[in-house]
């Protein structure tokens, strides 16, 4: 006798395979009526739930993995939570892997996700040159551009636009010498923000000079001293575009230590529009990423990819950002 499959259960119950999986895994939404119907069919047919690798692979596991560099980062945790919510609505579990921007961990977690038979993977890579080595799992890259682009979709905020608008807003508010504060590691998003900053200077006839415009930081202990040295070297600096809100807050506390006032002495704009921006004093102007939209697009494209099984041509989807102006960059 042919062994009963999950497909047979779905057919006999008059529901989709996805629904049967949801009931078996007790995952996602289904009515009590549906549950009863499916359990009856399972009982009648003597169907044995088979969690072996191969059968799960064929039947789909209704789980998706996501690599994230750092869950304590506001943008990452926000977008990951929204993706989880969207996927759960569709009957998928989300396996979150925190990779700490470590290439060894990214590789280890990709292997783990594969061994756990996830149906697809969402990658926010924390390393410079991310390469995905597997041909058998659909994946989508968000925020950090992958090195190989043939077999994925890349979804990202328009970091260039955000940095351009932030910088131009400082200039429009009277700043003559806006500096940029960024980490010394250069993700694809940081590079785009740097480009946007420089192009805004150029458009406004301010010539960029590395030693007086660029302050690199790794959130080091002696940040205040480095900032002081930078300001002494370049006494024309009157404002900062910080590539994220954490760096902007670092600036806030160090400038205050140095006796400077915000926005009177220095205007500041951050990036991410994190809760810090609302609670700091003064409140922080910041570039808001549309995490709802990024999560929606990511889930839609991944599920299409999983369902069709087709390798989709590479495309980049840029999601617009919005500059939220608060007190830290306004004129007095």
Q: List residues near a second copy by CB under 8 A.
A: 25-28, 51-54, 61, 63, 70-72, 74, 77-78, 80-81, 84-85, 88, 93-98, 100, 105, 107-109, 111-112, 115-117, 246, 249, 252-253, 275-276, 278-281
Q: Compute the least distance from the CB of residue 288 to a second copy, in Å.
A: 16
Residue 62: alpha-carbon gap to chain centroid: 22
Q: Compute the least distance from the CB of residue 77 to a second copy, in Å.
A: 4
The answer to whether residues 192 and 160 touch, using CB atoms and an 8 Å cutoff, is yes
Q: Compute the least distance from the CB of residue 291 to a second copy, in Å.
A: 11
Of the two residues 65 and 138, which places its CB atom closer to a second copy in the complex?
Answer: 65
The answer to whether residues 312 and 154 touch, using CB atoms and an 8 Å cutoff, is no
Of the two residues 57 and 233, which places its CB atom closer to a second copy in the complex?
Answer: 57
Q: Compute the least distance from the CB of residue 289 to a second copy, in Å.
A: 14
Is the torsion defined by CA of 217, 221, 223, 228 positive or negative?
Answer: negative
Q: Compute the least distance from the CB of residue 64 to a second copy, in Å.
A: 11
- 195 conformational bin, left if phi > 0, alpha if psi -120 to 50, beta if neither: alpha
**φ/ψ of residue 199, rounded to 5:** -65, -30
> Within a 13 Å sphere around the CA of 269, how many CA atoms are in the beta-carbon half?
29
Two structure tokens written together for 133: 């080595």
Of the two residues 210 and 221, which places its CB atom closer to a second copy in the complex?
Answer: 221
Only one residue has tokens 């010539």, namely 207
Of the two residues 161 and 291, which places its CB atom closer to a second copy in the complex?
Answer: 291
3-state helix, strand, coil in the chain (%, to 5): 45, 15, 40
Of the two residues 105 and 300, which places its CB atom closer to a second copy in the complex?
Answer: 105
Of the two residues 45 and 93, which places its CB atom closer to a second copy in the complex?
Answer: 93
Q: Compute the least distance from the CB of residue 250 to a second copy, in Å.
A: 8
């Amino acid at each position: 006798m042919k062994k009963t499959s999950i497909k047979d259960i779905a057919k006999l119950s008059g529901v989709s395979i996805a629904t049967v999986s949801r009931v078996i895994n007790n995952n996602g939404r289904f009515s009590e009526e549906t549950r009863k119907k499916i359990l009856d069919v399972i009982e009648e047919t003597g169907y044995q739930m088979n969690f072996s690798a191969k059968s799960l692979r064929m039947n789909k596991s209704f789980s998706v993995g996501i690599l994230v560099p750092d869950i304590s980062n506001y943008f990452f945790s926000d977008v990951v939570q929204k993706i989880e919510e969207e996927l759960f609505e569709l009957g998928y579990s989300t396996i979150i892997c925190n990779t700490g921007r470590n290439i060894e961990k990214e590789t280890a977690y990709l292997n783990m996700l594969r061994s756990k038979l996830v149906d697809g993977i969402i990658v926010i890579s924390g390393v410079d040159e991310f390469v995905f080595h597997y041909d058998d799992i659909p994946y989508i890259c968000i925020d950090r551009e992958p090195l190989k682009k043939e077999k994925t979709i890349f979804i990202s905020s328009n970091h260039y636009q955000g940095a351009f608008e932030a910088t131009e807003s400082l200039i429009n508010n009277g700043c003559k010498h806006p500096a940029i504060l960024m980490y010394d590691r250069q993700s694809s998003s940081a590079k785009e923000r740097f480009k946007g900053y420089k192009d805004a200077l150029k458009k406004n006839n301010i010539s960029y000079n590395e030693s007086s415009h660029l302050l690199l930081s790794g959130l080091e202990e002696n940040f205040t001293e480095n900032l002081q040295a930078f300001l002494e070297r370049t006494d024309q600096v009157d404002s900062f575009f910080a590539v994220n809100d954490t760096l902007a807050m670092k600036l806030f506390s160090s400038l205050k230590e140095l006796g400077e006032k915000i926005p009177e002495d220095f205007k500041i704009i951050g990036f991410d529009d994190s809760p810090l921006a609302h609670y700091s004093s003064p409140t922080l102007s910041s570039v808001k990423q549309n995490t709802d939209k990024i999560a929606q697009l990511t889930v839609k494209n991944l599920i299409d990819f999983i369902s069709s099984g087709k390798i989709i041509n590479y495309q980049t989807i840029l999601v617009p950002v919005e500059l939220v102006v608060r007190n830290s960059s306004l004129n007095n």
